Amino acid sequence: MWRAEAGPLHYLRGHWVREARSELIVSNGRIQQIRPLRPGRDAARSVVLPGFHDSHLHLRAAAAAKLSVDLSASSSIPALLASLRSRAGDFEGRWIRGWGWDESTLKERRAPTIAEIDSVTASQPCALHHRTGKVVILNSAAWRILTDPDSGSNSIEEPLRADAALLQKMPRQPENSVESALADLSCELAAAGVTSVTDATATNTWDDIARMDEWVRRGVVRQRVNALLAFDQVSAVSGSEGGMQTHGTVRVLGAKVAAPADGIAERVRHVRGYGWPVAVHATEPDELEAALAAIEECGPPTWGRDRIEHLGLPLPGHLERIRAGRIAVTTNPAFVTERAQKYRELLSAVEQEWLYPLRSVLAQGIPLAAASDRPVTSATPLGTMAAAVHRRPRAGGAEPLGAEERVTPDEALALVTDRAEVDGSALDRQGGRGSLASNLHLNADLVLLSDDPRRLLEDTKVLATFVGGHAIWGSPEVG
């Protein structure tokens, strides 16, 4: 048995309130008692609050990234190739997989060529996934395996779109390896205080969601899991027109739409034909315009809430239309900090001010949540908070990117905790963003921190994480 003293933080109608210190008694991995301590004792620095939620990530992709050569730190093509060469032996008899390259962080400001990759991979098939997940580079050996020798085509292309039909022929990672990596990922999330996630993968089938349920039931993933379903899978779900779907432990929040701007309207119409809400990927202005026009044409869903994922670069008037449509937004503050150099190089000064807005979204009363988009970033909730407040890399002393879009620490904390309105499960709330004041109980999802997260201290630690009152992170040394 162990005990911990902490000041509870409650989120009540848009404000965080710290109450008198309480004592948590934990035994056999479960909260057994929460009791207020006598007044007059010194205030504890540690706090307990509702568990963090990552509103947009990709579980299988994040696991696959763990099984790949990490290229995200490569600053040049020679460095990238050196990383591949050093790890090639680990993939003997299998495809070499790399993840995380990004031309904007490479000195050459370009992707590696097929010839350059061939120089270190030889006859071993290799696939290198861009950090955004949008494109993949294959080496010559991979092209020879995947293309039909009888087709008469000998052309070898440079980066392929990640949804290219050719890539469906690639062998999948062994399921036991994926599950092992998922367990590691879940542990990392728990250590960061994350108690629930939403898998926003655009290709999720009902079988994929059933597999997520199995991961949760078997303890491979210890967080609560929500998911989005691929737009073309809605028709296959029995009773899809009747309301929010679940598969065991997994709630399905709507259908994911990710397409070029000229293909968004057709997909939104298809989904809305079944009454479902959509979650539309929109990092570019034309994608956002197409999404809003289609949603306005189709009218509201019969259940849940439409979402805009990312909201990378809204133009004047877009936020007003999002508010009018009662649409929620899930965004990524870490994009601004991790890609600051890229945005400063590619965007005008005006565009930089509009980039991934936060303050303007909240000012419109739009439900807003923040997320990591793992594996695109590995941002923790505490790191996401810092990015939302500062909007600049922690190192280097750079000026904020879009300083007017910074939020307060209280607002930033709400972005990684209160998700009910964004998920569409609190549409009838009155008087603001609702209350988490009742969440301190024996069966709650909670995180115990060494300090108040609103202080944004780099040494703030997650001492324990609880899902349904069960500890998924922490040790007897906590108290």
Got the DSSP string for 68-115? SEE-TT--SHHHHHHHHHHHGGGGTTS-EEEEEE-GGGSTT-SPPPHH
Its pTM stands at 0.91
In a shared domain, residues 110 and 208: no
Structure tokens at 452: 């108040």
Tell me 427's DSSP state: T
At residue 39, the pLDDT reads 66
In a shared domain, residues 190 and 307: yes
In a shared domain, residues 300 and 434: yes
Asked if 407 and 12 touch (Cβ cutoff 8 Å), the reply is no
In a shared domain, residues 273 and 248: yes
- Averages of pLDDT over runs of 10 residues in the chain (479 residues) are 85 78 89 80 77 96 94 95 93 92 92 94 92 90 83 65 84 90 97 97 95 97 97 82 81 95 98 96 97 97 96 96 97 93 89 95 96 95 96 78 94 86 57 46 91 94 95 69
Which residues are CB-contacts of 404 (< 8 A; sequence separation ≥ 6)? 353, 359, 360
- CATH number for 115: 3.10.310.70
Instruction: Please give the angle made by the CA atoms of 61, 328 and 17, to the nearest 5 degrees.
Output: 100
In a shared domain, residues 406 and 445: no
Structure tokens at 417: 């905790």
Structure tokens at 154: 């000998």
In a shared domain, residues 77 and 32: no
At residue 435, the pLDDT reads 42
Burial of residue 323 (number of CB atoms within 10 Å: 0-12, 13-18, 19+): middle
In a shared domain, residues 292 and 416: yes
At residue 44, the pLDDT reads 62
**Domain around 72:** 68-169
In a shared domain, residues 460 and 431: no
Cα separation, 90 vs 336, in Å, equals 34
pLDDT tens, position by position, 127-142: 999 998 889 999 999 9
- CATH number for 373: 3.20.20.140
Cα separation, 158 vs 114, in Å, equals 7
Number of separate domains in the chain = 3
